Structure 1
Amino acid sequence: MRIKQISVSGLFGIFDHVIPLNMDERITIIHGPNGFGKTAILRILNSFFNSQYSELRAIPFKHFCLGFDDNTSIEIIKNTDNSEEAEKNNIVFKFYQPYSEPVYFYLKPRKIRSDRGFPMMFLDYGIEERHTPIIRSLDIRTEETLFSEEAVEHFNNLSFPNLKSQEEPNWLEQLQSNIHIRLIESQRLLNFVPNRSSRRSAETPSILSTVSAYSDELAKLMQDKFKEYGTISQSLDRTFPVRVVKQQPSTDLTDEQLRHQLNELEATRSRLIEVGLLDKDEDAEFQIQPQDIDESTKNALSVYVQDVEKKLSVFAEIASKIDLLRKIINNKFAYSYKEINFSKEKGFVVTTSYGSSLSNSKTLLPTDLSSGEQHELVLLYELLFKVQPNSLVLIDEPELSLHVGWQVQFLKDLQDITQLADLNILMATHSPDIIQDRWDLTVELKGPHK
């Protein structure tokens, strides 16, 4: 299920926009002057599909409609009437299906007192015994602790799992689960990490450099895959002798085919070493030479080849993503004499050198990268590792901190990523350098006719 068209009317009380998405090429670019609602549209989409409804309340619009490729649609209607009755049903979701009557959901008005004041500090989040999400916060002005819906309304933009301020109907939950949305905001260099303990302590959350957090996360992903590889290896190795004995000699497998398979395994192993998933001395037994094949070993080697293919297949997806990330980033980092590699222990490994002497190389922390380099690395990492397949990714101002040369290359890199990761993209930009000659992918947001 995919979104094929977005329309909004009365945005900021001024603008009406219709945005058809490019279903075939899967990349749509919206552009227009500042203040015409590019970021607001992305935030409304993210707010609705991730149940972060405070954004819907905050952004002024009358109607927001989404048409899907299965001929269903949903309309978000804001009641701008100031009457007491209208306040009870301020926002309505109206879902249309072919040959059926539309169904409705009325979003409850917020329950935060008007005298609460905005300055609040997040303290703790957890799941209580009955799987009820609780969130604890502090009104900085009054030092009053808040729980439940009051805090939910203030902090639901943090994307806490299962955190909703009211029960939703099955049709709405199903719709939201069918469309996966991820917003990559223009501010992406800081990462908010809440304390997810169920204890209601007064610990404050951690604010980390996003590039450091993602480096640690990738190291963990690589370690997990290596453990999975080890588990499969142990299982196959234990049963290898028995399977060799039971294996019937194959008359179809020629010596040449077996040599080709062994060469392919060695090439795969070399690629995994290059991206940091295997160590150079890991499983040296892979390196069986093709000339070692004879009739007495052919049967055992055919079982061996099948086993090694199973072992290495564990790395297939993550290796492809790391390889593409490495290729794109190093193409950009070369101008500043930097190079990125990856390891199971450290995640991102950045080195810099000038000239050909390896002795001049120096290892940098990910946070030593420039803001533009960090923006690019964080954005590409999110696209490759943080988004599930067939999602719609919303990218706000990808040109941020990128010099013109990187902007020119961005769309080509994005196309490679969307093909590998199976993504749909809706991007808001001011940069003609990003668009290049692909104006066929763009939708211009215009003002009202004067």
Structure 2
Amino acid sequence: MIMRIKQISVSGLFGIFDHTIPLNMDDRITVIHGPNGFGKTAMLRILNGFFNSRYSELRTIPFSKFCVKFDNSSYIEIIKNTDYSETIENNIVFNFSQPNLDILIFSLEQIKVRPDTVDFPLSVLDNCIPGLDRIGPKTWLYNPTEELLSLEEVLERFNNLLPLNLKSQEEPDWLGKLKSNIHVRLIESQRLLNFVPNRRSKSDNRISSMLSTVSAYSYELAKLMQDKFKEYGTISQSLDRTFPMRVVKQQSSPDLTEEELRNQLNELEETRSRLIEVGLLDQDEDSEFQIQPQDIDESTKNALSVYVEDVEKKLNVFTEIATKINLLKIIINNKFSYKEIDFSKEKGFIFTTLSNSSLSDSKTLSPTDLSSGEQHELVLLYELLFKVQPNSLVLIDEPELSLHVGWQVQFLKDLQEITKLADLDILLATHSPDIIQDRWDLTVELKGPGK
């Protein structure tokens, strides 16, 4: 059963702050605001660190207790022992409380690994883990988050990328089940570089393993569109093969009037046009749409009713992705000045410049030709629409980054459209009143000690 988070709270954050944040369960958008340094980003990182097993986040951010309450009256406490002396093995404990049941407890062990016990050269870490730079004998800089990581933290966080199977601490079933019921995704403020492993050659400079996120997402969307088109083709072949048999089996004309059939055919034509507009169908993909509404008579009713059902099944393959692409297109084209976004199965995003003088002056742009603000907006919208599974809690850190005031003003309204379509809860951290506008009812202010 999918649970929802209804409140998060922290005690002793940075040794100073105690915060409680109730989430807006009906509006599904909660905005944390407050001065810099009060812990907005830290709270998002702790929440994301727990549910996505990035436990180094829990170890590096100073706090004493973090509590997550769910909509079924259960809650999880992350209790941190601030005494880091070597005599204390377990400095983080998870307590899971459910109504009328015993408390479930799990102690998180500190990974202890000595360099002389690792059976590969430590220099391999730089090649295996994109964005990681070794800056000391036992210290690495992780560029995407600008974190300094110890060897233990590197091995814990990037275990799946390493050339060894470092046995992680086995977690209890109840903890795995809890995490599987709560989907959390963090969209960080630094989101324009997508770090991908370089598989070509060890001699390649590692800068080649850094791909702009807009380029990566453009390729990814093209692949999603191609996969849907293949699915469409498979269903079409199956239905076309059995079409004559199903027409013959339909003994009598269905209880449909000619006007109803005409309306259905017109609706299918409109759907096909919308799919062409968002790049999911080609312009010449209309060989099966040649029957005109005026051709309907009693003798063709049987065949047309089966035909209409078949085409609906074929086009339904595209319903979800087409709706998301269309919303992305509307939002982007309303915001980007003198640029227009289109889509294709081959390239994903296609941008063209808009000229007031003539269409011949328009120019095709690469996604990387967009300004940093435009790239931030495109990446954020794409992640919300295409990268996050339904019923997730999405954490957004500083969405105002690189967005001019006009876009910030529109941001919450765009977010409301996306949450309805993608079925998401949003928790965002900002210090921009332009983001909030008149929706202070959605906000929770972080205050200083004793306030």
Of residues 98, 107, 123 in structure 1, which corresponds to 2:127?
Answer: 123
Q: What is the identity, as a one-letter code, of the residue corresponding to 2:174? A: W
Maintained 8 Å contact 1:152/1:163: no
1:157-215 CA distances to partner (integer Å, 9 max, x unpaired)?
Answer: 56959997311000000001110010000000000113589xx9787581100000000
In structure 1, the partner of 2:386 is 385
> Structure 1: where are the runs of 5+ without partners?
126-134, 145-149
Q: How much has 1:155 moved relative to structure 2?
A: 5.8
- 1:20-419 alignment to 2 at 5 Å? 20-85=22-87, 87-113=88-114, 121-124=125-128, 141=136, 153-154=153-154, 157=157, 165-194=168-197, 206-333=209-336, 336-419=337-420
The aligned residue for residue 129 of structure 1 is: none
User: Could you tell me whether the CA contact under 8 Å between 1:12 and 1:61 is conserved in 2?
Assistant: yes
CA change 1:356–1:281 in 2 (3 A) is: farther
After superposition, the Cα gap between the structure-2 partners of 1:194 and 1:163, relative to the gap in structure 1 and judged at 3 Å, is: farther
Partners in 2 of 1:88 and 1:433 — Cα distance?
47
User: In structure 2, do the counterparts of structure 1 residues 348 and 163 end up closer, same or farther at CA, with 3 Å as the change threshold?
Assistant: farther
For residues 194 and 166 of structure 1, what CA distance do their matches in structure 2 show? Answer: 26
Give CA deviations for 1:17-40 in whole Å, capped at 9, x if unaligned. 000000001000000000000000
Secondary structure at 1:250 match in 2: coil
Paired residues of 2:111 and 2:156 also in contact (CA < 8 A): no
SS in structure 2 of the partner of residue 92 of structure 1 = strand
- Asked if structure 2 preserves the Cα contact closer than 8 Å seen for 1:183 and 1:394, the reply is yes
Query: How far 1:249 sits from its partner (Å)?
Result: 1.8
Amino acid at match of 1:25: D
**Aligned position for 1:147:** none
What residue identity is the alignment partner of 1:221? L
Q: CA deviation at 1:284?
A: 2.8
Task: Encode CA deviations 1:118-149: one digit per residue, 9 max, x unaligned.
Answer: 99943237xxxxxxxxx9x99565699xxxxx
> Aligned equivalents of 1:30 and 1:383: distance in 2?
19
Aligned CA distance change for structure 1 residues 19 and 358 (closer, same or farther; 3 Å): same
Determine the C-alpha separation between the residues in 2 that align with 1:66 and 1:329: 35
Secondary structure in 2 aligned to 1:122?
Answer: helix
- Percent of paired sites with the same residue: 76
The amino acid across from 2:12 in the alignment is: G
Cα distance, 1:252 vs structure 2? 1.4
Compute the TM-score of the two structures, normalised by the length of structure 1. Answer: 0.90
1:8 pairs with 2:13: no
**What corresponds to 1:130 in structure 2?**
none
The residue type paired with residue 105 of structure 1 is F
**Partner residue in 1 for 2:144:** none
The amino acid across from 1:17 in the alignment is H
Residue 358 of structure 1 aligns to which amino acid in structure 2? L
Q: What's the counterpart of residue 143 of structure 2? A: none
Residues 207-235 of structure 1 show CA distances to partners (whole Å, capped at 9, x for unaligned) of: 10000000000000000000000000001
The residue identity in structure 1 corresponding to 2:444 is V
| RMSD, aligned α-carbons | 2.8
249-258 vs 46-55, greater mean Cα deviation: 249-258
Deviation at 1:88, TM superposition (A): 0.7
Measure the CA separation in 2 of the matches of 1:159 and 1:420.
35
1:328-377 deviation line (CA, Å, top 9, x unaligned)? 000001xx210000000000000002214110110000000000000000
Relative to structure 1, is the Cα distance of residues 82 and 208 closer, same or farther in structure 2, using a 3 angstrom cutoff? closer
Distance 1:386 1:143 in 2: 34
Amino acid corresponding to residue 26 of structure 2 in structure 1: D
After superposition, the C-alpha distances for 1:251-272 in whole angstroms (9 at most, x for unaligned) are 4111011001000000000000
CA distance in 2, matches of 1:251, 1:355: 52
Aligned length: 431
Say which is worse superposed, 22-31 or 104-113, in terms of deviation: 104-113
Q: Counterpart of 2:32 in 1: which secondary structure?
A: strand
Deviation, structure 1 residue 81: 2.3
Deviations 1:316-337 (A, max 9, x none): 000000000000000001xx21
Question: Partners of 1:437 and 1:43 in 2: how far apart?
Answer: 27
Q: Does the CA-based 8 Å contact 2:4-2:71 persist in structure 1? A: yes
Contact 1:193 1:206 in 2 (8 A): yes
After TM superposition, where is structure 1 displaced by more than 3 Å over at least 4 residues in a row?
A: 82-85, 112-116, 118-122, 137-144, 155-164, 200-205
- Partner amino acid for 2:281? L
Q: Which AA in structure 2 matches 1:123?
A: N
Q: Does structure 2 conserve the Cα–Cα contact (< 8 Å) formed by 1:2 and 1:179?
A: yes
Once the 2 structures are TM-superposed, how far is the Cα of residue 238 of structure 1 from its aligned partner? Answer: 0.6
Secondary structure, aligned partner of 1:22: coil
Q: Contact between 1:120 and 1:139, CA under 8 Å: does it hold in 2?
A: no
Give the whole-Å Cα distance in 1 for the aligned partners of 2:319 and 2:329: 15
Conserved 8 A contact 2:111-2:152: no
Contact 2:275 2:281 in 1 (8 A): yes
Whole-angstrom CA distance in 2 between matches of 1:292 and 1:151: 74
Q: How far apart, in 2, do the equivalents of 1:405 and 1:166 lie?
A: 48
Aligned to 2:142: none
